[in-house]
Structure 1
């Protein structure tokens, strides 16, 4: 039972105690170029934090594996992205899996289509990666898949969620015939209600995969709006647009305090299915995001002597 979560003061602001438990156990996303700017992850992140490594088109696999190795050696579980549309063929996929496993001890992955219009080779969806059988053959224990509570125009160009929803149901069926631990990691959103409604719809459709909700970390408002538009964030973008019209808030950095308090409050009430975990997209920088999480209760590892 979560206690005091979602509690707000008389002015409507969420209290620190109300955020602490929902922040615990968060995961975070990095890229090789952003990770290179961090001197010591152990001084920033709580012990055991899962670190996703985003694989952007054009990033050499050598840089991805080197980043995974560094994080693993620092004691963090590492979950690299496998974007289907930038993987040439099955031989390439197996090479990546073997390198992550052999050089960095990786046994978990986030499988996604990837934001590339034209596939580089044989794959165009995460389902094809799953069907390859390679992750099972090489002993991967955990597979996460992407979730899009506000739709994904790369898949459903008409703005619906028909194909996205069909894919999620397929992945649910796959989870029932595999030993891998599976979960859904969502695109970031700025409003809790659409995500909670989406989760409720999943449960009604028989999809019981845990949902790790994507949350944008602290950042300048202009930065967030740019990323939100580029990443196809849907209706919850209006939260940022409304904030941009308020001159008293325009120059202040965005923080995820309100949206997380709303998620936490919903879970405390317990009338609807909630989220299993928070996953941070540190769009304003890894350090700023980690420090915000620490401020709200997350404890970093002690640096090695």
Structure 2
């Protein structure tokens, strides 16, 4: 009689293979301090914030490249004032060999500053391939978005995945950070049910103060009910405490099934604590061995 064996259980260490990080232009000096704790070749996303200029973004991408990591510059569609501004940015990235992978997002402004209302228009612009871009990350929202309906989010995700394929670009999905591993896994199953096979990088909040995490969660519309907060390790009565994502990672690993969820990796939001997050990940990985 033929017997079958079940695949080995997924561990936190397996999910932590090929994780990615996020930094701002202001974190460039901190990258030098953090690099000893970051594996070579790690993807590091560089944000496109309103209080940063072109030089800050380029300096950050160049530093990422120079230290042996893979820069993934953000392109904030609604912050761009013109097609020429996008061309200048992409050309500058290419000059520093930092253009191969980008992350396209609509961005915070409610109204576009120029011709691009969303990241789909960036993908379809034709400028990415023209400047050597090969892969584009797009956003995912397992717990929804405070200003966008669920139906609109799903429609946009499908459209962007189809557009990447039509434009000959590879891609992945980077989710907004969250605290509820079950909600994330349920959302990933629905992504696969809609025939989207792009790799997914689950957004994870790096270790930070409880008050700071709650502030970011409120800002981005992330669910933080009392039960979820307790499960994650947040103390709603001690906002001065700190917490790391270890409970979230354990729950995510316990519920992850490659057959249902496909390719899943992790993306860490550092909230300005690039060195702290990098060292936390390094220590956590070593503790799993």
Please give the secondary structure, in 2, of the residue aligned with 1:188. Answer: coil
Q: Which residue of 1 aligns with 2:269?
A: 281
Q: 1:296 to 1:244 in 2, by over 3 A?
A: closer
Q: 1:257 to 1:241 in 2, by over 3 A?
A: closer
Q: Which whole-Å deviations, capped at 9, do the CAs of 1:21-73 have from their partners, x for residues lacking one?
A: 21121100000112323434431211110000011113101110011111111
Q: Which residue of 1 aligns with 2:111?
A: 118
For residues 80 and 237 of structure 1, the distance between their equivalents in structure 2, rounded to whole angstroms, comes to 35
Q: Which residue of 1 aligns with 2:3?
A: none
Question: Is the aligned partner of 1:214 residue 2:203?
Answer: yes
Identify the structure with the greater helix proportion.
Answer: 2
Q: Which residue of 2 aligns with 1:95?
A: 88
State the 1:3 CA deviation. 4.4
For residues 168 and 269 of structure 2, the distance between their equivalents in structure 1, rounded to whole angstroms, comes to 28
Q: Which residue of 2 aligns with 1:169?
A: 158
Please give the secondary structure, in 2, of the residue aligned with 1:174. Answer: helix
- TM-score normalised to structure 2 length: 0.89
Please give the secondary structure, in 2, of the residue aligned with 1:295. Answer: helix
For residues 245 and 252 of structure 2, the distance between their equivalents in structure 1, rounded to whole angstroms, comes to 11
Q: Which residues in structure 2 correspond to 1:86-165 (within 5 Å)?
A: 86-154=79-147, 156=148, 160-165=149-154
Q: Which residue of 2 aligns with 1:224?
A: 213
Please give the secondary structure, in 2, of the residue aligned with 1:272. Answer: helix
Q: Which residues in structure 2 correspond to 1:1-305 (within 5 Å)?
A: 3=8, 5=10, 18-154=11-147, 156=148, 160-234=149-223, 239-240=228-229, 243-245=234-236, 250-267=239-256, 270=258, 272-273=260-261, 276-283=264-271, 285-297=273-285
Deviates more, 1:236-245 or 1:168-177: 236-245
| Cα RMSD, aligned residues only | 2.3
Contact 1:41–1:74 (CA<8 Å) still a contact in 2?
no
Contact 2:23–2:272 (CA<8 Å) still a contact in 1?
no
Q: 1:89 to 1:222 in 2, by over 3 A?
A: same
For residues 22 and 28 of structure 2, the distance between their equivalents in structure 1, rounded to whole angstroms, comes to 9
Q: 1:271 to 1:132 in 2, by over 3 A?
A: closer
Q: Which whole-Å deviations, capped at 9, do the CAs of 1:161-207 have from their partners, x for residues lacking one?
A: 11111001101211332322111001000111111111111111222
State the 1:280 CA deviation. 0.1
Number of matched residues?
280
Contact 1:110–1:144 (CA<8 Å) still a contact in 2?
yes
State the 1:275 CA deviation. 5.2
For residues 32 and 188 of structure 2, the distance between their equivalents in structure 1, rounded to whole angstroms, comes to 37
Deviates more, 1:290-299 or 1:54-63: 290-299
Q: Which whole-Å deviations, capped at 9, do the CAs of 1:245-296 have from their partners, x for residues lacking one?
A: 355xx543111011111111122x5563155210000126111111111112
For residues 237 and 80 of structure 1, the distance between their equivalents in structure 2, rounded to whole angstroms, comes to 35
Please give the secondary structure, in 2, of the residue aligned with 1:264. Answer: helix
For residues 213 and 236 of structure 1, the distance between their equivalents in structure 2, rounded to whole angstroms, comes to 20
The structure showing larger relative contact order (alpha-carbon pairs under 8 Å, at least 6 residues apart) is 1
